[in-house]
Structure 1
């Protein structure tokens, strides 16, 4: 059985699509809540329902988009037409999201922010669901999937680094903060939209995976994949890792501004975090190749947990060096828990083919992000609502107000211990994850023989029967 080596050109152009996937929500997670409170003037308590409603809408549309892309048939394939459409729609939706509209009351501000957020998440789903599904079929090789997704994460984290540092530099370059946000939206709208042209032109889909259409069945689409043990454990690893990322991202700007008292420290700390994430990608890829992907995940989660404990002990007058060191250590952990679920996803689609007899990467991708976004919406809404209850005081006429001790303690607890709790749950799932390189090699050999209608060796049939018990 030959190895499926992907050309470097294919890896690079495919990976460039995650400039949008990794960058857009970093800007949103780090700066959108504080944009709504400090620029739009929306009260903290109203941000929670915006994020919750938007996330739930986003989540519901993911599996629907997965079904749509699985059953799309065009001369450009099942996935790529939606990526081309993203070139225009990504720019428009991102610009609207950050347009500092003026309304005289809280209701008007709330409605505008909600519509803008829903419009953006709809476009995000339309593009990223087929994009993720496409990656699972570009190569079927266990290690090439790790390589492909390592390139993808490198682009994602590089975008995350730029999106952590550059937005506020652009905003603050203008005397009028509203003009600054408009220019930031235009700049990043272009950065996020242009790469999709390259993804469309320089990737190919497998025609053999496009033969059979599926009838729409709501129950099967939402619940059948959860019968697969490997998929359930992947969902858990992915969910707990990215919930941790979402929670920290949402409040990091508040932590540096109101607890540390140094708003200018934010881009420096985020820069250290994302640079470390990028640097450690080859390390975790190496560990995954030498052992397995779930081991890399566990290692990254443990590093982050240690950093979280230390972070809680830091006083507000801590030196810049200590904050940068903590951010870098967290980044070293995030690198492992962020990349591995994406590399594992492709392997789990093979397990699903073993279970159902057909390829449904889009449906699995949509369902995976559905679960994450519902949980993320609840978690982020809970965090922002909790900070409001804890006593956050909005700036008055652009002037920051003294924050109560209850709010500052809530910041410290959430940024430190909530990720630890979530990551421990992720580690438990990773320990139980059953697929390793040796088992995947047998699985791939069996699936390739089935696709070619070849006679299956009796020994392989026995091995697959036993393997089903472990994987499904």
Structure 2
């Protein structure tokens, strides 16, 4: 079946023509979730360990319990979404009605009563991150799962992913500024304005997320024609996919890199560069934005997985250099690394879409959410590992915590270890990702064959849907 035939089908009300406004409507959810998630990522360690003074043992236990919970909730939510047969769809209702709960749990994370003991703070933190992560997981899963099924065209997928990434970067920039605002407000003895700002972030984040649920329509043939797959069979099929396992291994390295770099960048600003946090963010995000804008045309010519490998190498080398270069050279290194980080920012979900296409070709059913759920199961521990690495290296170096919200002078080893978990380890992760993806099979002629067969299957499902109607 040709691509033109598929485009003809998209003129029907059950298919979508992606006008510029619809593309913006798709991407706006990424702004909402990115504002919230990056505020959380950049503030979580700094707030609970440095400001609240929670000990390393409590932080370790919190991450262990969090990781265990993630072992259950991601595939479970993915399975529930894939097998939902709601009249409103199997994706959008989950996303729409979870957004307000995400806002509420996010706000609660930072409103820790001052009267609590250290154990009380730990319990508050633990319950907060479990509830927050559950809401974020549901929204992230269904949003990611929507991309592969609303269009088969990898070019359109790339355009939507680019728009989503640009909105996500805007949210990331906003979210990454929050730790600096937090530190300033606490040093000024003005926590109330910070808490108000967090509430505003949560409300707008949830609102932007809900906009997408009204701008995008699900394709009903996958709900009405595809038969539900039992849980154990779905898990078995997922782990039988070689393409999926290789992609997850590469993505694990990417998640570990981003968790270390973005989650701890404030340490580089405050303790190594001694600069305003915004000055550290600017070269990194300018590089990412430029990379996001140019990467899709490059991927169309070079291939999506090949482009991912190239950009991983571009990111990895300057990240490693951050460990050794003088402070002034760190800024151009951050810019080049940011350009390379556009790879995982834009292309990862497109590669998962290809994995879903291959799986549908083999088993006849689209199961995107299960793939994203198991991916999260296998990669989210990277976030906990990043916390352990950061807290462990700081503890080994006798890192001096804040006193009454004021940053303290640090020993030389602490500065060295900050460079290691900001630069050396993330850089090695990106080089490993490039090597791992060399074994990814969905490329060239085989990928073209998968695309053609999936288009034929979708035409048959669409005809069945018309007959049912």
Report the TM-score when normalising by structure 2.
0.89
How far is the alpha carbon of 1:215 from its aligned partner?
5.0
Tell me, yes or no, if structure 1 residue 252 matches structure 2 residue 259.
Answer: no
Is 2:298–2:307's contact at 8 Å kept on the other side of the alignment?
yes
Cα deviations by residue, 1:184-236 (Å, 9 ceiling, x for unpaired): 21121022100123211111111111133435434x34343121121112212
How far is the alpha carbon of 1:310 from its aligned partner?
2.2
Tell me, yes or no, if structure 1 residue 197 matches structure 2 residue 199.
Answer: no
Query: What is the aligned partner in structure 1 of residue 12 from structure 2?
Result: none
Tell me, yes or no, if structure 1 residue 116 matches structure 2 residue 123.
Answer: no
How far is the alpha carbon of 1:399 from its aligned partner?
3.7
Query: What is the aligned partner in structure 2 of residue 332 from structure 1?
Result: 339
Which whole-Å CA distance do the structure 1 matches of 2:127 and 2:220 have between them?
38
Tell me, yes or no, if structure 1 residue 431 matches structure 2 residue 442.
Answer: no
Alignment equivalent of 1:401, drawn from 391, 408, 424: 408
Which whole-Å CA distance do the structure 2 matches of 1:405 and 1:256 have between them?
16
How far is the alpha carbon of 1:43 from its aligned partner?
2.5
Which whole-Å CA distance do the structure 1 matches of 2:444 and 2:91 have between them?
28
Would the alpha carbon gap of residues 166 and 284 (structure 1) be closer, same or farther in structure 2, given more than 3 Å must change? same
Is 2:79–2:231's contact at 8 Å kept on the other side of the alignment?
no
How far is the alpha carbon of 1:182 from its aligned partner?
0.8
Is 2:253–2:429's contact at 8 Å kept on the other side of the alignment?
yes
Cα deviations by residue, 1:116-141 (Å, 9 ceiling, x for unpaired): 11111011012111111111111011
Tell me, yes or no, if structure 1 residue 73 matches structure 2 residue 95.
Answer: no
Is 2:319–2:423's contact at 8 Å kept on the other side of the alignment?
yes
- What SS does structure 1 have at the residue aligned with 2:398? coil
Q: Which runs of 5+ in 1 are unaligned?
A: 455-472
Is 1:103–1:109's contact at 8 Å kept on the other side of the alignment?
no
- What SS does structure 2 have at the residue aligned with 1:400? coil
Q: How does 1:251-270 map to 2 (within 5 A)?
A: 251-262=264-275, 264=276, 266-270=277-281
Tell me, yes or no, if structure 1 residue 240 matches structure 2 residue 247.
Answer: no
Q: Give the alignment's Cα RMSD to 1 decimal.
A: 2.2
How far is the alpha carbon of 1:112 from its aligned partner?
0.8
Q: How does 1:370-385 map to 2 (within 5 A)?
A: 370-385=377-392
Query: What is the aligned partner in structure 2 of residue 299 from structure 1?
Result: 310
Which whole-Å CA distance do the structure 2 matches of 1:305 and 1:100 have between them?
38
Which whole-Å CA distance do the structure 1 matches of 2:183 and 2:397 have between them?
29
Query: What is the aligned partner in structure 2 of residue 23 from structure 1?
Result: 35
Is 2:303–2:443's contact at 8 Å kept on the other side of the alignment?
yes
Q: Which runs of 5+ in 2 are unaligned?
A: 8-16, 462-469
Q: How does 1:41-440 map to 2 (within 5 A)?
A: 41-165=53-177, 168-169=180-181, 172=184, 175-210=188-223, 211-214=225-228, 216-218=230-232, 220-262=233-275, 264=276, 266-315=277-326, 318-319=327-328, 322-436=329-443, 438-440=445-447
Which whole-Å CA distance do the structure 1 matches of 2:305 and 2:172 have between them?
24
Is 2:320–2:426's contact at 8 Å kept on the other side of the alignment?
no
Report the TM-score when normalising by structure 1.
0.88
Is 1:171–1:183's contact at 8 Å kept on the other side of the alignment?
no
4+ long deviations beyond 6 Å:
none
Aligned positions, number: 447
Which whole-Å CA distance do the structure 1 matches of 2:176 and 2:94 have between them?
27
Which whole-Å CA distance do the structure 1 matches of 2:387 and 2:280 have between them?
21
- What SS does structure 1 have at the residue aligned with 2:38? helix
Which whole-Å CA distance do the structure 2 matches of 1:31 and 1:16 have between them?
23
Which whole-Å CA distance do the structure 2 matches of 1:43 and 1:73 have between them?
46
